[in-house]
Each structure stands twice: as C-alpha cells, then as structure tokens.
Amino acid sequence: MNGLGGLNKSPNGVVLGLVQLQLPVIETRADIAAQARKIAGMVGKARRNLPTMDLVVFPEYALHGLSMDVRDEVTCTLDGPEVALWQAACREHAIWGCFSIMERNPGGYPYNVGIIIDDQGALKLTYRKMHPWVPVEPWEPGDRGIPVIEGPKGAKIGLIICHDGMFPEMAREAAYKGAEIMLRTAGYTAPIRDAWRFTNQANAFQNLMVTANVCMCGSDGSFDSMGEAMVCNFDGSIIADGRTGRPDEIVTAEVRPDLVREARAHWSVENNIYQFGHRGFTAVAGGAGDCPYTYMQDLMAGRYRLPWEESVRFTDGTSCGFPKPVRKFGEVMKDAAE
C-alpha cells in the first residue's frame, strides 16, 4: 500500500517524506546558520511538494555535515536558534519534522541527536544515538534509551540513527515499546549500500514494523553520501526508494499503521516480535518466556566478552585521529581527570 507516494491518501494513511539532503561543508557558526535556514526552507518545499504529507524526515548530519567536528562553535543545544527555526517552520507549514543536531555536552564529546517536532512546533521526541559508528565517530554514546511517541494520526513512532540499525536489538526495542513506524536517519556513504538495504528490510520484517530510512546525499568534496531513501513495509517489502541518488529529492510514501496493528494481532506464522517471548507456544502453554541467550545474560551481568575478544584490533578511536579515552561511561571529563 503506497497510494502513489501519498498522492492518493487513504483515511488511515500516514504520508512520509524522506529528504535526500545535499551533503554540506560546515566549518563555522555562519555555515551552521545558513544550513539551518536551508533545512527550514526544505520543510516548506515538503509541504508544497505534497499537501498530504504528515512527516518530513531529514538525515543524520543534515546540519553539521560529515566533518566530525566537536568544537563548541559548531555544536548546538535543544533550546538554540537552529531548533527554534525548525519549530517555527513546522508550525508555519503545519507538518511534523524529524531533524538532526550534534548536541553540546559539557561533560564529554557531543551527543549525536535526532529530534521530532510536531505540526504545532512542539518538541515531541529527543533521541541520543546509542551506537556511534566507531572508530570513525567521536560522539558520546546515548544514555536515554529509545523513545517512542504518538505521532501523526496516532501512529507510534520511534527513531534510531544510522549505525544503530545494524544492531537487531535496536529495532526490536523500538517495536517492543510500541513503534509501528521506525525512522532511521543516516549519513552513510556508498560502501554501506547493500548492508543498508537488507538491514532496513530485516528490521521491518522481524518486528512487523514499517521502517522509513534516509541518508545524506551527494558529495562534499571528500565524502559521497548515498541518499538511498527507502520505506519498507511490515512484511519487509520495499514500497518506496530513492536509488536515483538525486540530492535534495524528497522520496514519499503512504504507510498504514492500522495494517501494522492488524498484522501484529492476527499473524500466526512469522509473528516474530510476539514469538520471541513465547517460544514454542504450540508445544507448551503460553510458550517459553525464559532468556536462553548467553550474550543477554552476560551483558546484564557486566561480563559481555566475545570468544575472540583478545584478537579485536580496533578498540578505541586512535586509528581515526582521536585520543585514547580515559573517561568511563557516565563520568564527566572533570571526574575522570581527578
């Protein structure tokens, strides 16, 4: 079900617009301000592009580019002018929006943050990326879990960022918390193209959940982001994609959260999100609800360790020019230095 990309909207449909934003070069605060204005302008383009659109989604790094710059000069705050500008744009154009910032963190490296703003300009969701793409990305690992909100038409929406989607546990957590649509924003470059596609489809199918996914697009003179916007239905099928790789194109699709709910209630075979916690319910009443997975048990006990742990070569960011960290997770720099 796609309604010709949302041109023909059904009463239960939610129309998504995924912006394959041109990858910018960001070096100064003025660059940040100019890019924030471009993004606000693209919110208006999204509304003009498709009057039926409910939610416009911008990629990770839409504001900051791929420089990995951690200077305060180019980082942002949730109450700063950039977010305020996008709130005003969402309110003006009566559309929900998903945006990306690198959030200033006085206790360590910045957080890589995704936000969702509603059509009245209210900040509804803030997510800190839990799995930075190490060793390349210096961002502080997220400490607030995966929030799920009620979005347009009452759809339950979750948000993860880029490398997060390579971990099946992230999509499962979003679904377990009720997400019917999971957004995945990214700045990935072309070598990840195949993995991007099959993980987006697997995340959808394994959790009976729509996934809506988009990367930055085009070149900044050093990196080539791939665009590759794609919407996957809850059966894993691709219902819209942006394989043309055209920068600033808005790829659209109508999705049906009501059909997600129907599948989760009525599927028997391959209702995997339910069956995960009810193993073998044909044989035993209610199924087995234990946790037979060693890696989960060890992670909870603080003893997660791979059989090949000693052979892992890259365990910090020094190969990418970042200093070896001394601060533990949860510590601030001042505490670590004492």
Catalytic (active-site) positions? 60, 129, 162
Structure tokens at 33: 């301000």
Cβ atoms 58, 115 nearer than 8 A: no
- For residue 58, give Cα distances in angstroms to 16, 108, 134, 188, 319: 11, 26, 22, 13, 30
Measured CA to CA, the distance from residue 88 to residue 92 in angstroms comes to: 6
Of 97, 99, 128, 126, give the one whose Cα is nearest residue 112: 128
CB contact at 8 A, 137 and 319:
no
> Residue 138: how many CB atoms within 10 A of its CB?
21
Q: How far apart are CA 175 and CA 96, in angstroms?
A: 21
